[in-house]
Amino acid sequence: MAVNINTSDTSVNRYTEQQPDICVVGLGFVGLTLAATFAASDKNVIGYEQNAHVCDMLNQGQVHFFEAGLPEIVQKKLNQGLTISNVLPDVLPSTVIVCVGTPMNDSTGQPDLRQLESAVTAIAERITPETLVIVRSTVAVGTSRKLVLPRLRQKVAEPLLAFCPERTIQGKALAELRSLPQIISGVNEASVVRARELFTKIVGQTITVSSLETAEMIKLICNTHTDLIYGFGNEVAMMAHALGLDAHELITTANLDYPRPDLCKPGFVGGSCLTKDPYLLMYSTQQHQYTPPMVAASRKVNEAIPQMMVEQVITSLQASGKDIAQAKIFISGFAYKGYPETSDMRGSAVTPVVSMLRSYGATLFGHDYIVPLEQIQALGVQPVSIAEGFADADAVFILNDHHRYQEENIQALVARMRRQPVLFDSWGIFAARLNHRQEEINYMRLSWKNAR
Per residue in 265-313, pLDDT (tens digit) is 998 999 999 999 999 999 999 999 999 999 999 999 999 999 999 999 9
Q: Is the pLDDT of residue 170 over 80?
A: yes
Domain span holding position 183: 22-211
Claim to verify: residue 247 and residue 104 sit in the same structural domain: no
Establish if 17 belongs to a structural domain. no
Q: Which among 294, 328, 353 is the end of a domain?
A: 294
Q: How many Cα neighbours within 13 Å face the side chain of 380?
A: 12
205 with 224, same domain?
no
In a domain, 2, yes or no: no
Q: What is the pLDDT of residues 353-405, one digit of tens each?
A: 999 999 999 999 999 999 999 999 999 999 999 999 999 999 999 999 999 99
The answer to whether residue 329 sits within a structural domain is yes
Statement to judge: residues 87 and 205 lie in one domain: yes
Residue 325's alpha-carbon distances to 180, 317, 417, in angstroms, are 49, 11, 17
What is the tens place of the pLDDT at every residue in 262-271?
A: 999 998 999 9
Position 393 in a domain? yes
Do 88 and 142 lie in one domain? The reply is: yes
CATH number of the CATH domain containing 47: 3.40.50.720
Establish if 426 belongs to a structural domain: yes
Determine the pLDDT at residue 19.
85
Looking at the structure, do residues 166 and 185 belong to the same domain, yes or no?
A: yes
Question: How much is the mean pLDDT over the chain?
Answer: 94
Read off the DSSP letter of residue 67: -
The two beta strands, 182-186 and 206-208, are parallel
265 and 310 housed in the same domain? no
Which CATH number does the domain housing residue 233 bear? 1.10.1040.10
Quote the CA–CA distance of 39 and 80 in Å, as a whole number: 8
Question: Are 32 and 164 part of one and the same domain?
Answer: yes
Domain boundary among the residues 211, 242, 259 is at 211
* Count of Cβ atoms closer than 10 Å to residue 419 Cβ: 8
Q: Where does a domain end: 211, 235, 256?
A: 211
Kindly report, residue by residue over 184-226, the tens digit of the pLDDT: 999 999 999 999 999 999 999 999 999 999 999 999 999 999 9
Clarify whether residues 62 and 140 are in a common domain. yes
Q: How far apart are CA 354 and CA 333, in angstroms?
A: 12
Interstrand relation of 95-98 and 206-208 (parallel, antiparallel or unpaired) = unpaired
Q: What is the count of structural domains for the chain?
A: 3
* Nearest Cα to Cα of residue 133 among 102, 100, 159, 158: 159
For residues 260 and 314, membership in a common domain is answered with: no
Rounded to 10 degrees, the C-alpha dihedral 309/317/411/236 comes to: -30
Give the pLDDT score at 436: 53
User: Do 147 and 70 share a structural domain?
Assistant: yes
Give a yes or no: residue 13 inside a domain: no
The pLDDT score that the predictor gives to residue 432 is 87
Residues 192 and 225 in one domain: no
**Cβ atoms within 10 Å, residue 60:** 11
Q: Under DSSP, is residue 135 helix (H, G, I), strand (E, B) or coil? A: strand
- Amino acid, single-letter form, for residue 38: F
Tell me what pLDDT residue 380 has. 96
426 closest CA partner among 405, 444, 408, 452: 444
CA pair distance 320, 440, nearest whole angstrom: 12
Indicate whether this model's pTM tops 0.75: yes
Q: Output the furthest CA–CA distance in the chain (Å, rounded).
A: 74
In a domain, 4, yes or no: no
Do 271 and 317 share a structural domain? Answer: no
Average pLDDT over residues 320-327: 96
Domain for residue 11, yes or no? no
